[in-house]
Structure 1
């Protein structure tokens, strides 16, 4: 069993990063089945989306990290997800994120990703983080750069087309 078998709850100025619940499934599934998932290998079937949802939660007891949902402190609305992925699908620990429609452009992904990156480094003590992304996903690339990530053309990747941003100090 992993050292960190349960997902933490983290707070930022505006956000709560919390463990996933079944109440998160409908909106998650809708995103993964939509064209908005095109930068994440989608759109995905309902079965594939369910597998991804379970993967995000199962990493906590198996790997000591996984995904957290991004919740607005004031409204309680779920805005998206941030996570650290690894295992057979990711050659290195990946810092990833997505936001639901209407949540973009407000700095929430940056705030959530920075907080989870800092947790992964200070609490989980992960030596390195990367972000894999589709070359057409300029918004995520800008966010990776804002987080201090730099393109690493020599980084291992499962999809040779993916860009890999390596995250250095905070």
Structure 2
């Protein structure tokens, strides 16, 4: 069984999720802000996704970490690496809660988890599947030096694939 790591950056603590994280996660996933995450979701679907994020760790050796401010202890969102039947390649993804955007938190968290995946898990590549209209995530993927693939295998025609290389 894979132990869930705790990663630290200058401003952030990336840690395992707890039940205390559920209310904010549910609010996000059931809101219109979840449109780029195939939402908004029902309460039951949000719960299934929350459990999926945690279940990835023992099943696949990676999963989701909560993004917490080291200064305030506030949970700002999530960053994760997913794999399995729904994710044929290891996918790096992120989401921030309302009010946390525009501070570089997603970049800092995604960079830390990406580097962990390459150095600790030994992965050589990751992808980020991004809705073409999600300009913020597209800019973030490019800031992370991910390259837009022009003719990739993807989960659907409506998704852009950005490739991160070790």
Structure 2: gaps of 5 or more residues: none
- Please name the residue that 2:123 is paired with: 126
Deviation at 1:153, TM superposition (A): 2.6
Among 97, 106, 114, the residue aligned to 1:117: 114
* Deviation sequence 1:35-60 (CA, Å, 0-9, x none): 00001110011111111101100000
CA separation in 2, counterparts of 1:157 and 1:6? 30
* Contact 1:134-1:163 at 8 Å conserved across structures: yes
- Please name the residue that 1:79 is paired with: 76
CA separation in 2, counterparts of 1:20 and 1:153? 35
Residue 144 of structure 1 pairs with residue 121 of structure 2: no
* Deviation sequence 1:122-151 (CA, Å, 0-9, x none): 001112101001110000000000001111
- Please name the residue that 2:161 is paired with: 164
TM-score between both structures, scaled by the size of structure 2: 0.97
Q: Displaced runs of 4+ in structure 1, greater than 6 A?
A: none
Q: CA RMSD in A?
A: 0.9
Structure 1: gaps of 5 or more residues: none
The number of equivalent residue pairs is: 166
TM-score between both structures, scaled by the size of structure 1: 0.95
